[in-house]
Structure 1
Amino acid sequence: MTENTAIERENAQNEFMAEAQRILGQKGLVTDADDMEPWLTDWRGRYHGAARALAQPANTDELSGIVALCAQHGVPIVAQGGNSGMVGGATPDDSGTAILLSTRRMNDIAIDADAMTATCGAGAVLQTLHEAAEAQGMRFPLSLGGKGSATLGGLVATNAGGTQVLRHGVMRALVAGLEVVLASGEVLDLTSHLKKDNRGFDLKQMFIGSEGTLGIVSRVVVQLSHGIADRRVVIAGIASTQDARRLMQHCQGAMADALEGFEIMPQSCLDAVLAYIPDAQAPLDGQHPWYALMEFVADREGADALGEQVEKVLMDAFEAELVSDAVIAANETQAEAFWQLRETISPAERAKGPAMQHDISVPVSKMPEFIDAITESVLSAHPDHEVAAFGHLGDGNVHLHVIAPAGSDGPKWEQETGKKLSAHVYRSVTDWGGSISAEHGIGQDKLQTLRDTHDPVALSVMRKVKAALDPDGLLNPGKLV
């Protein structure tokens, strides 16, 4: 590099930073390394990057301005919401050339009670939306363990699922409209949430699940539901994954409109959570191979009959020998404690030591058989390991954790054994007609696996869309496509 070239680059960098400061204001641009450090590592601690600055726009105009500036100067952008992702999708590379763009200041929420919608800034936190909707007698029917940090923009970018997919669907089904800033800085307004609109493609669906590679979500319009008047949360001990599926079908047949969640977890997961949470108590006497966590809800019209209906469903399940024990939460405190057992599995398993976590899905009808088969397959090759499979039985989503033997050196085990185990899991789930990613996305963690397992024609179409919308490859480079 010549001296003149170096000077030109330095001048361009100074010009870029000065203009970025003008667009974003004093609070909107962070360059201090210590202040940026917490946002440069992914939640699992596997990926660590660098950035020339942390941009924090407060509104769509500022977001549009900084994106246009990056396009002008050829600066990559990595958008980030709550930084709670599982696949390194919001972590920049280590070159230090990218801008890390946080949407956390764009956190406004406006409820339209008549339309039963909420219009949210991309940085609005899921739990805050829950509280805002509840205050108006409504709810947003998507919940997950990271609701206290997950943002609406992040949920859109990854097409998040959660525990209520059985009845309400994933994020894709709940988004009524979007506002997206394109790679050029142009603002694409798709917030007109018409019930009927045949003016060509449904463009908003293209951005849902695109992981910030096609555009940066600035606003989200989500569909709300009527608030619930009562609910019953049940934990049941069951003998097998097959019995779990039969139990779910039994509950759906009797109370399809009320069954909102159906989760399963093995005894090993419950043991890990009980060891992890201080003063936590086992929900049932004795131990059971598997547990089903169920939630039934009712509106005002059905609230009076809900308790009796749930009790009858459980009695019939006992008579059919589908469950060996069960308990209905006596109050809201106990109901939340039951859900905490499920939602704390991931951090509890992480505390046990090195593990390879897999967020995968198979056809719903095959989920019990797949869990048994993949567990046997892994343990036959690695009998000193532990396999913990849990997840959303109603949508085929399996969270499969393969845990290293106690005392293992994490990085060494992952390189020598863990990655080979994951490759086996992903080949297996593909052979079963499933997906290597159910709800966490691809990010950088599964990029090569996607290339190895996905339909080449589908990959080609995705790349063509990326090239059309982001021809310079500045949006979240090295992720998804």
Structure 2
Amino acid sequence: MSGAPFSLAPGPTARDARRVPAELAARLRAALPEGTVLTEEGDRTAYLVEERSLYRGQAPIVLRPRSTAEVAAAVRICAEACVPIVPQGGNTGLVGGTVSGAHEVLLSLGRMNRIEDVDPLNFTMTVQAGCVLADIQAAAEAHGRLFPLSLGAQGSCQIGGNLASNAGGINVLRYGNARELTLGLEVVLADGRVWNGLRALHKDNTGYALKHLFIGSEGTLGIITRAVLKLFPRLTDRQVAFCALRDPADALTLLSMARDRAGEAVTAFELVSSFALEIVEHHTGGQSPFTERHPVYALIELAGSDADGTLRPVLESLLEQAFEAGLVADAVIAESLEQAAALWRLREGIPEAQKKAGGSIKHDVSVPVSRVPAFLKRAGDAVAAAMPGARICAFGHLGDGNIHYNLTQPEGMEKAAFLARWEEMNGIVHDIVVDLGGSISAEHGIGLLKAGELRRYKDPVEMELMGRLRDALDPARILNPGKMVGLG
């Protein structure tokens, strides 16, 4: 499938009639510093390769601005020429949200990577959109603070993309999504004007909360160029346990007990299926702490800012109570930072292990936390009936109801034949998710991959309102056309 657009991409729209004028590159070069405009194929390739190889970008021009003023100038010139612009961060997305067409300009924000200010007393940080998430985390740590957004791609994903997709990750249970971690934004609008909402205020009740329009909009309403982020006290006491359980219902009960006992100290509560742990052991060298196989596992992290280790007895007492109630079959508590990291690698190594285990049909879904066991049971039965032998790799953030429900091709089945049933299996899983009051995209976004699914499941009135917002802010559909709402 590599090298060709995936079959679920939306069909042709009005934007396909547009062409990039021959003189556009020259106009952009005249307005922007040398080295900002890339037109040679070899220079553009890295920006056109998509993370999962479901799509191939085709933009004839790639822009690499270093400042908000340069972004604004580029957008203004493209808008005057009616040429669409596709903003791109670290290019780590999983739904084709930054894939460019042959008649579009790609704008990479990677050179806008300065951390402009850290204010530990105000618990804020001001950054440019191209800052790598891991660098932001390190800068906060250097000032005795914590920026809690954490996800698998944090070594290469950029904060602008995190905000544009309202990224989640492992700490949502305690700190919320990217939306909850943002105080202010600076955004370049579709006509090249700049909205300056870059406020470091924890309270600002002077009008509409415009920042929330742009967070999660996947670059379809404006291009985020700078942000003020919330910081938190650094965590000095981390306690990690890996537990073996009989079923997801017991995991849910254990989560409830953990929150009752430890409150907001429950930073993460991750669910790992037996098959997910099996492929991690087989393909990444991870090692289960248990000698026997169990149906499901839970990784629990309690964390706090006290240095006296008060959370260790809390975790031990929780597990003792869980053993007595018959919820936990076995459990280990990390005795060191190295052991804690090893337990986390059992969870974090799943995506890489999946790549080596065969073809995957992936679902990033959420349901109300109390309905996760029902979803897993119903989806498991439906998948088994539709595709006998399909291996279910279910894992994710039980604490906020976000499950990565991925299907691995049956042994002996050709990969192409398996992937050809992508749309069918999407329908089976997503129908159950929606019936349970859930969402077909919990943290990965919509992009091109799920634009058609969004139109199928979203309330028509809600779709209309989204379209009106887009028409109001970008009537010519210059910004990232075809993404999210699937309208050109």
> How far did residue 403 of structure 1 move?
1.5
Query: What is the match of residue 256 of structure 2?
Result: 249
Question: Distance between the aligned counterparts of 1:24 and 1:320, measured in 2?
Answer: 66
Query: What is the match of residue 69 of structure 1?
Result: 77
Q: Which moved more, 1:121-130 or 1:422-431?
A: 422-431
Whether contact under 8 Å (1:107, 1:121) holds in the other structure is yes
Query: What is the match of residue 288 of structure 2?
Result: 282
Query: What is the match of residue 109 of structure 2?
Result: 103
**Equivalent position SS for 1:311:** helix
Note the 1:358-373 alignment, pairs <5 A: 358-373=363-378
| Equivalent in 407, 411, 418 of residue 413 of structure 1 | 418
> How far did residue 400 of structure 1 move?
0.5
Q: Which moved more, 1:195-204 or 1:124-133?
A: 195-204
Question: Distance between the aligned counterparts of 1:411 and 1:20, measured in 2?
Answer: 42
Quickly say closer, same or farther: Cα 1:434–1:338, change in 2 above 3 A: same
Note the 1:178-327 alignment, pairs <5 A: 178-278=185-285, 280-300=286-306, 303-327=308-332
Pair 1:57 & 2:62 matched:
no
Pair 1:335 & 2:340 matched:
yes
Aligned-partner residue type, residue 300 of structure 2: M
Question: Distance between the aligned counterparts of 1:239 and 1:312, measured in 2?
Answer: 20
| Equivalent in 160, 163, 166 of residue 159 of structure 1 | 166
Pair 1:173 & 2:177 matched:
no
Whether contact under 8 Å (1:158, 1:439) holds in the other structure is yes
Query: What is the match of residue 3 of structure 2?
Result: none
Query: What is the match of residue 352 of structure 1?
Result: 357
**Equivalent position SS for 1:478:** coil
Whether contact under 8 Å (1:379, 1:387) holds in the other structure is no
Pair 1:13 & 2:22 matched:
yes
Question: Distance between the aligned counterparts of 1:350 and 1:343, measured in 2?
Answer: 13
Aligned-partner residue type, residue 312 of structure 1: S
Query: What is the match of residue 127 of structure 1?
Result: 134
Question: Distance between the aligned counterparts of 1:405 and 1:319, measured in 2?
Answer: 38
Mind listing any 5+ residue stretches in structure 1 that lack a counterpart?
Answer: 1-8
| Equivalent in 36, 47, 61 of residue 28 of structure 1 | 36
Question: Distance between the aligned counterparts of 1:357 and 1:148, measured in 2?
Answer: 22
Q: Which moved more, 1:106-115 or 1:245-254?
A: 106-115
Over the matched positions of the two proteins, sequence identity in percent amounts to 42
Question: Distance between the aligned counterparts of 1:227 and 1:172, measured in 2?
Answer: 20
Question: Distance between the aligned counterparts of 2:31 and 2:108, measured in 1?
Answer: 15
Pair 1:430 & 2:434 matched:
yes
Aligned-partner residue type, residue 464 of structure 1: R
Whether contact under 8 Å (2:375, 2:432) holds in the other structure is no
Query: What is the match of residue 4 of structure 2?
Result: none
Question: Distance between the aligned counterparts of 2:235 and 2:290, measured in 1?
Answer: 27
Question: Distance between the aligned counterparts of 2:167 and 2:86, measured in 1?
Answer: 19
Question: Distance between the aligned counterparts of 1:361 and 1:305, measured in 2?
Answer: 33
Whether contact under 8 Å (1:24, 1:55) holds in the other structure is no
**Equivalent position SS for 1:64:** helix
> How far did residue 468 of structure 1 move?
0.8
| Equivalent in 458, 479, 483 of residue 475 of structure 1 | 479
Pair 1:139 & 2:143 matched:
no
TM-score by length of structure 1 reads 0.94
Listed one character per residue, the Cα deviations across residues 37-78 of structure 1 (whole Å, up to 9, x for unaligned) are 122122111011201111011111111111111111111111
Listed one character per residue, the Cα deviations across residues 211-254 of structure 1 (whole Å, up to 9, x for unaligned) are 00000000011100000111011101111000000001111111
Whether contact under 8 Å (2:280, 2:349) holds in the other structure is yes
Question: Distance between the aligned counterparts of 1:384 and 1:245, measured in 2?
Answer: 27
> How far did residue 423 of structure 1 move?
1.4
| Equivalent in 39, 52, 58 of residue 44 of structure 1 | 52
Whether contact under 8 Å (1:161, 1:169) holds in the other structure is yes
Whether contact under 8 Å (1:80, 1:101) holds in the other structure is yes
Whether contact under 8 Å (1:354, 1:408) holds in the other structure is no
Q: Which moved more, 1:370-379 or 1:280-289?
A: 280-289
Question: Distance between the aligned counterparts of 1:162 and 1:304, measured in 2?
Answer: 25
Question: Distance between the aligned counterparts of 1:351 and 1:374, measured in 2?
Answer: 24
**Equivalent position SS for 2:310:** helix
Question: Distance between the aligned counterparts of 1:368 and 1:333, measured in 2?
Answer: 32
Whether contact under 8 Å (2:124, 2:200) holds in the other structure is no
Query: What is the match of residue 87 of structure 1?
Result: 95
Over aligned residue pairs, what C-alpha RMSD do you find?
1.4
**Equivalent position SS for 2:35:** helix
Aligned-partner residue type, residue 154 of structure 1: G
Pair 1:399 & 2:407 matched:
no
> How far did residue 387 of structure 1 move?
1.3
> How far did residue 31 of structure 1 move?
1.4
Whether contact under 8 Å (2:59, 2:100) holds in the other structure is yes
> How far did residue 408 of structure 1 move?
3.7
Question: Distance between the aligned counterparts of 1:272 and 1:214, measured in 2?
Answer: 40
Question: Distance between the aligned counterparts of 2:358 and 2:30, measured in 1?
Answer: 46
**Equivalent position SS for 1:217:** strand
Query: What is the match of residue 86 of structure 2?
Result: 78
> How far did residue 32 of structure 1 move?
1.6
Question: Distance between the aligned counterparts of 2:152 and 2:199, measured in 1?
Answer: 31
Pair 1:113 & 2:117 matched:
no
Question: Distance between the aligned counterparts of 1:294 and 1:265, measured in 2?
Answer: 11
Aligned-partner residue type, residue 460 of structure 1: E
> How far did residue 407 of structure 1 move?
4.6
Question: Distance between the aligned counterparts of 1:340 and 1:126, measured in 2?
Answer: 19
Listed one character per residue, the Cα deviations across residues 388-444 of structure 1 (whole Å, up to 9, x for unaligned) are 2111111111111111123544344322x2221111111221111111100000000
Query: What is the match of residue 444 of structure 2?
Result: 440
